Structure 1
């Protein structure tokens, strides 16, 4: 959505960089019906906007920000909002924001505020910042894969040989996993800690990083020849902040491990499968029509949660969270996260953090943000666009409302490149493609059909889609390396894109047109509210006060 004078810019400020007397701060800048905008309210918003955008102060920007504040008051206090306030999703997001704010404050007070950095750590960081190292590495997604690679290195297999197998990136694949020179702060903290501890030529055991596992070989070190105490003191405060930031994630993990014992957590796999089915098949959880399933689902310490208990907790999640649950693994992680947050939330309540002023202030800002999002969505969806406008939008964007180009391919998929080359020679010498596919292709469902895949959108073929589409019917393409496989393909047929009948997708076109025209829709809607409510602005005060203080 484009921003403009009639649109809402949700920018809230926790800081104020202006300095006025108390009398000036309490001056009324605008009156909107029975509501007022004081200079102090405006300065908070305006200061944050200037800082976040880098825009220079001027009267046009001042007036625009004030208009946005007026628009927010109009939408919240002088319009019918029953649709928003009664929305289940709106209420869920409010509650989720309230809990998130309380938990964030808990982490600030119980974890981040207690992080310390020693003089020794700062000096070590200073040394590392002034030292460049070069390394190569091997990547593995799992610890088991990493251990296998490490054993191969120990028996003499070279980095270069293994890198050519584990990397898909062409550079790392061909240069033995060489990363070049880097310095402290450039890489994953766990990776750096191990890399800086190695001697030149030394190889590390598998290292757990944020992305998987790495085996590191240090190739070289280049140190700054002369480090002075003066330089250290200049950088000390900055390095201390960086070290504290780097300690946040491990400190948070340590705290969670101290209050949540994963060894006491167990799941019933069948119950999890049932929940996943309900999430995406019957839609029971989304509708809130949760049946009373007594099947034991989760056990944590002495507490037993039934399938219904877990489904109710999932139902309370906003839809954007539920949308990420697409497998047993992500469901298990979601349930674990819910249980951890419940424990942390109860700790926060016991300490009275839900009543802390910073929590109440931040939650109030979240509430306004969430309301504006839902309100704008409601206005846009209920906008009545003439059929002629919708149809013109359809005609002007016909490519969006058309079927995709489709391809029918015949394939042979094998794991060995030399076998793929041999099969291609057989095909070129007149052997039947379908018979070879039935005999050698690894994709069972297509092999059983002589390698014929059936028509599918070009996008389904990923980065090779355009290559296949640009080929002639009957042409052979390949062998093509696809991950750990080699494929040979024949183009059997093409179906070009066709417009979808307007009447079949009128609702979809209407929604797209509403979204595209959202700026104008919101502008017109707010103008109507402006005409209904008495608004007074102190233009002299808006233009004359000194932001420099």
Structure 2
């Protein structure tokens, strides 16, 4: 029976958990044709369904309710982008992008990741997350309980924590009211104020050990000490009642599965590690400890005093040659494969790095190879969910690069083009009119009125009053001077500033719960931007114009090659109830 260090278990299981855890122009190339009402669009015979459209809208706007509240025009934009993306994928396929070596390799990587998820679900999760288990949990969720607890948090002396909990338990059993005991002993601050009350809760909302104890109690009884990751608890069950309204079992299933994954983490770790061991045996994986020991000694010899593991391997590889570190059914694995695996990830290597750390990295390196080999033998690369996700991810990767090459790069503009646009449109690149003010901002309207009167009377200078009284952060040392600003800043104060004359002092102006008194120092008229000030704005506008023209040209060609029909009412009816 193989054993694993806690660190090895943690690293490998983290990977396993990760596996568990990617209008006119648009209204059809056929002038009078309409897509069937059940479709959002048809691109060269391929249907873009209303379900896909709804899913994309919900993702785009962070929820179906938010998406349904959007104007029809915004939902139409999303549909247009979806059609455009599918046309890019079709044109890219026509041009052979999907057969390029880099995308074939990427497809393999995506397939392997999908295979890993499928294996995790089949071999680790599914045997544990059975319908009977989920149904039992759902049945338990039909009841909610009301409880209180006393918490004794873990410390370095766990024996003392347990002893304290036992002592208080005896006091409660001897007649000390539970609420008084909680106020006196609990180490949960909020619990002291509430007598340890937790209120009502359902199954699945507490630590597994805690809720197991709660559901095992009779109303009015107190548990013996219960241990959780938080500490040791005494639990008093105050009441129990049926949940009146809740989702059906089928509606709850996904949430039930996720809750079960969380509560059965240790069981999943154990099952995952056992399955990995079985793959090592099935495929004859042998990490050669003697050879790894030689490599470890060689790395230590070259260490001065700490280096990136990959750097050390690179320095060692020429002298090391092709000596294998691992045997398995598909051949030997050596230092070059280990270097490829490490890639750009930083692994510090010091004199304290044990040989077992190299063996752990080698085992991590083999895991995706084993899962890919096993999954392909099971034809999991052809599983519908895997194929769907691979196609979506590959389409997206190719779409992004196709856009970069054909639209983004091709729409770049030169400095000479920017300068020519600047000279050709002298009135298009102007600074807005601005004002510069001095301000006294205070919390009280009476104080603001008094300061306004003192400033207007000349009794005291605006400079000294602002320096003494203004509360705007950082403005006391500047005697209330604000940076020049355009219309739209500072709400009512900014609006008032644009109606004043230079040297004029305003009445107090309400700004939220504060009051502002301002003196207008300067009016700055609109002026033409310098070329360096306008260049970013000009570049963006010109690149957008070029890109729009390139995309329009592309779409015209793409629709000619791949006849496209868009449901003219899709954006309007997508969230209407179906009859």
The structure with more radius of gyration: 2
Q: Taking structure 2 as the reference length, what is the TM-score of the superposition? A: 0.47
